[in-house]
Structures are given as structure tokens and as C-alpha cells.
């Protein structure tokens, strides 16, 4: 068994082989990885059964379901890898080219980072998704999964490594750290010179730990306290559709709305209708009603729980919505500036000038006019895939596709120029 340091050194030593591999080689590797995943299905399912057995009683049924693999889910993972193979190659793109007066040809060229470390939690399919995106973008990857999916992730990694070997690439280009303790995560965060990029994918605690402790380049992903602002000029039926979708279509994900800001001019009409839609209609349909946490002005219009001190700074990831009444788009955007995590915010308005004020003042990664925050996603943006959603401003913002997994390099060709 290799130690984490040995795994990192092997990846760093061999990363250049993948970086220099041509498009066809990387795509053939991906197809072989998909084949091997299917060939190894029985072994992967056996490993997964071991994980599920160990996890029962320790984690919730919802989490058990996320952990559970079957033939269909393995097939979906293989299909996911093949889809990545079919995407355009992000490596080697000429981002700009200029011929200088002295004859130097300066080309800005997309190149891989080198070694990408990915720290994630329980879903086994993240293993194959992340490895596929790394290989496609010419990067070696070192994966560090959660304890619950340890055997599953290892079996998947073994299959992926067989795929690399089948096309003559080193197996160490995709590796799985063999410890799931905190020390192994710390080791990845501080492996200066070995890890070229660290991407944590998981809950707010993991992200915070990485951002605070990483001395290697790190991209903060995922935490989303997303706001929907219902302007005075909003069409109320559209506003109801958008807040319902943003809050309830999948409350556990980062692009779900956590806060609704409502202009005072429309609050008396909108809030009772919103309460009917999110609370009563859902209860009547046998769905989980949304718990509304109201600021005093909203509470003067509709009944609900009084919002506590933290309710406007919490990523609920649940059927809970904090509600505040504001008097202007300026007050709304000031609230967002003070409380947002910079992920996604939406305005519902029929007034183009108010929409323009909102988009100019909100500096989150994604700003929506008359659409749900739920669209912040690599697939929905047309990127074809996604490694996570960046909530930082350096390098990548919002959904990170293949292009965001590359950096660039200047290559300058001359004929003896000196300065």
C-alpha cells in the first residue's frame, strides 16, 4: 500500500506524460476506463455491499441511498465517462496570439494544471466523474474520498487504473488516498510542489477547512446562500413559479434558494400567495411544506416562525426559507452583499432598469433576471460537465467545466531576439 506522500510523488512524477499525451490518447484512455468499470461491476458491487453494510445504522437512509450502487448506476457512471470523452479537448487551445514588432510570436496556450487533488465525501460516482474530467483535461488526479464509500471508491479507482494501463498510460495518473482520516486531508492541503490544484467537494465544514488550511492553490466550491428578490415590478405568477422552483425542486443542493427578499410595494399581495403555494398547497398535495422564517415586516403580513439571528446566514439545504421585506432594489442588493456566499442570486422584475441595477450591484458568480437560481450548473450552462461550482473570484467562478481545469502558458518563438 502506497502512503499519501508516495501517491503524490508518483502523480507529480508522471503528470507530464498525460500533459504531453495527444487528444486521441486521452480519449482512448477514457473509453477504456469506462469499459473496465463495466467489466469490474461485480467486484465494485461487492465492495459497495461492504460499505453499505458498515454504514447501516450509522448514517441516514437518504445517505445510504446516495452510497448504494447497482448495475444501472455503474452503467450510468460508464456513460458519464464516455460523454466526457466526446467533449472538445480543452488542452492546447490557443487563447491569444500576437506577432510583436520585433518578430516574436507570443502564443497564450491552454495547458493542464498538473496534479489535481480532490477531497470529497460519500457519493461513489464522484470518483469516476472527477477522474474522467481530470484525465480529459490532461491532469493527473489524487482522490481522497469519504470513509463511508471507501471500499466502493477503491474498487472504482482500481477499474479506472486498469483502463489507463490498457492504453499504455501509467496507472498512477489516477490514485486514491488510502486513509480517510483528517491527517490525509491535511497532507493534500499542504503538499506544496506536488499538488497544483486542490478542489474540495462537499459540505461547508470541509470547504472551510480546506480554504483555511490549504497552502496549495485551492478552489472554494459549493456553499450557496442564494437569494431571490421579488421586485415591486415583478409579475406575481412568475415570481411564485421561480421561488417555488428555487426553493423546493431540490433543496439539498447548493443552487437552491435559502432567502426570499420581497419589495414592500408587492409584499401584501405576494407573501400570502407564496405562503399558499409553498406551505398549504404542498401540504395538501402530501409534499413537505416549506417552513417560513419571517422578519418582522413579513410577519406582519403572514403567519410563520420569527427569523432568528442566524437565519439570513444559513445554508439550510432543507425545506426552510428566510423571508425579509425591503423597500428598494438597493436595500435588496445591500442585504445580498452582506449575507450572500457569492453563488447565485435572482431578481424577478418586469422593469429593465431595476434588473440592470440588480445585475450591476450583485457580484455573485451567477446573477439571474427572471429565472430560477437552480440553473447554476455546468450542464445547464452548456459546459457539458462540471467539477463543482466555484464561489471564489480567482481563476474560476460558477460551474467549472473542462476549460476551468486548465491553466495557460505563454509560448514565445523567436529567431535570436534579445532585449
Contact status: 382 vs its own copies (CB under 8 A): yes
Q: Which of 2, 63, 68, 371 binds its own copies (CB under 8 A)?
A: 371
Of 228, 177, 51, give the one whose Cα is nearest residue 124. 51
Which residues, at least 6 apart from 363, have a Cβ–Cβ distance to it below 8 Å? 337, 342
Contact status: 106 vs its own copies (CB under 8 A): yes
Which range in 41-49, 75-83, 295-303, 406-414 contacts its own copies by CB under 8 A? 406-414
Half-sphere exposure of 352 (CA within 13 A, CB side): 0
Find the shortest distance in angstroms from Cβ 372 to its own copies: 5
Contact status: 83 vs its own copies (CB under 8 A): no
Q: Taking the CB of residue 288, how many other CB atoms lie within 10 A of it?
A: 11
Q: In sequence order, what E strands does 45-139 have?
A: 94-99, 105-112, 115-119
Q: What binding mask, one character per residue, do residues 233-262 give for its own copies by CB under 8 A, x or -?
A: --x--x--xx-xxx--x-------------
Look at strands 197-200 and 115-119 and give their pairing. parallel
Alpha helices in 91-181 (DSSP H): 125-136, 150-166
- Rounded CA-CA distance 247/323 in Å is 12
Which range in 40-48, 120-128, 169-177, 369-377 contacts its own copies by CB under 8 A? 369-377
Find the shortest distance in angstroms from Cβ 170 to its own copies: 16
Whether 154 and 54 have beta carbons less than 8 Å apart is answered as no
Q: Which 294-333 positions form the footprint of its own copies (CB under 8 A)?
A: none
State residue 339 phi and psi, 5-degree precision. Answer: -120, -15
Contact status: 11 vs its own copies (CB under 8 A): no
Q: Please identify, using beta-carbon distances, which residue of 273 and 361 lies nearer to its own copies.
A: 361
Contact status: 285 vs its own copies (CB under 8 A): no
Look at strands 389-390 and 398-399 and give their pairing. antiparallel
Which range in 54-62, 119-127, 258-266, 392-400 contacts its own copies by CB under 8 A? 392-400
Whether 255 and 344 have beta carbons less than 8 Å apart is answered as yes
Contact status: 393 vs its own copies (CB under 8 A): yes
Contact status: 94 vs its own copies (CB under 8 A): no
Of 153, 159, 199, give the one whose Cα is nearest residue 176. 153
**Binding residues for its own copies (CB under 8 A):** 16, 19-20, 98, 100, 104, 106, 111, 113-114, 196-197, 211-212, 215, 217, 219, 235, 238, 241-242, 244-246, 249, 337, 355, 359-361, 363-372, 374-376, 380-382, 392-395, 397-398, 407-419
Amino acid at each position: 500500500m502506497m502512503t499519501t506522500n508516495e501517491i503524490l510523488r508518483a502523480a507529480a512524477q508522471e503528470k507530464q506524460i498525460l500533459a504531453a499525451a495527444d487528444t486521441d490518447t486521452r480519449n482512448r484512455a477514457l473509453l477504456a476506463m469506462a469499459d473496465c468499470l463495466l467489466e469490474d461491476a461485480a467486484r465494485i458491487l461487492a465492495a459497495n455491499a461492504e460499505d453499505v453494510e458498515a454504514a447501516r445504522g450509522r448514517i441516514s437512509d437518504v445517505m445510504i441511498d446516495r452510497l448504494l450502487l447497482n448495475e444501472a448506476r455503474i452503467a450510468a457512471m460508464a456513460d458519464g465517462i464516455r460523454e466526457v470523452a466526446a467533449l472538445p479537448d480543452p488542452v492546447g487551445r490557443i487563447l491569444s496570439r500576437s506577432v510583436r514588432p520585433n518578430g516574436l510570436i507570443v502564443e497564450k496556450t491552454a495547458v493542464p494544471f498538473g496534479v489535481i487533488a480532490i477531497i470529497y465525501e460519500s457519493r461513489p460516482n464522484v470518483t469516476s466523474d472527477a477522474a474522467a474530467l481530470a484525465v480529459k483535461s490532461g491532469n493527473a488526479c489524487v482522490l481522497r474520498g469519504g470513509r463511508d464509500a471507501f471500499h466502493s471508491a477503491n474498487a472504482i479507482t482500481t477499474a479506472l487504473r486498469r483502463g489507463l494501463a490498457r492504453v499504455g498510460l501509467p496507472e498512477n495518473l489516477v490514485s486514491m488516498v488510502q486513509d480517510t482520516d483528517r491527517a490525509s486531508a491535511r497532507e493534500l492541503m499542504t503538499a506544496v510542489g506536488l499538488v497544483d490544484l486542490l478542489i474540495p467537494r462537499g459540505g461547508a465544514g470541509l470547504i472551510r477547512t480546506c480554504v483555511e488550511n490549504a497552502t496549495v492553490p485551492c478552489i472554494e466550491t459549493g456553499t450557496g446562500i442564494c437569494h431571490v428578490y421579488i421586485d415591486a415590478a415583478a409579475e406575481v405568477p412568475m415570481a411564485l413559479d421561480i421561488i417555488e422552483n428555487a426553493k423546493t425542486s431540490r433543496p439539498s443542493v447548493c443552487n437552491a434558494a435559502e432567502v426570499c427578499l420581497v419589495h414592500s410595494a408587492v409584499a401584501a399581495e405576494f407573501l400570502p400567495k407564496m405562503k399558499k403555494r409553498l406551505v398549504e398547497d404542498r401540504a395538501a398535495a402530501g409534499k413537505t411544506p416549506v417552513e417560513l422564517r419571517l422578519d418582522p415586516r413579513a410577519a406582519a403580513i403572514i403567519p410563520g416562525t420569527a427569523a432568528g439571528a442566524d437565519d439570513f446566514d444559513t445554508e439550510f439545504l432543507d425545506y426552510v426559507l428566510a423571508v425579509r421585506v425591503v423597500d428598494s432594489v438597493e436595500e435588496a442588493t445591500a442585504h445580498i452583499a452582506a449575507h450572500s456566499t457569492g453563488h447565485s442570486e435572482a431578481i424577478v422584475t418586469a422593469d429593465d432598469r431595476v434588473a440592470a441595477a440588480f445585475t450591476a450591484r450583485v457580484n455573485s458568480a451567477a446573477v439571474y433576471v427572471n429565472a430560477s437560481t437552480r440553473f447554476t450548473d455546468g450542464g445547464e450552462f452548456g459546459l457539458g460537465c462540471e467539477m463543482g461550482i466555484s464561489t471564489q473570484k480567482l481563476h474560476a467562478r460558477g460551474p467549472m467545466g473542462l476549460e476551468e481545469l486548465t491553466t495557460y502558458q505563454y509560448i514565445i518563438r523567436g529567431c535570436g531576439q534579445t532585449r
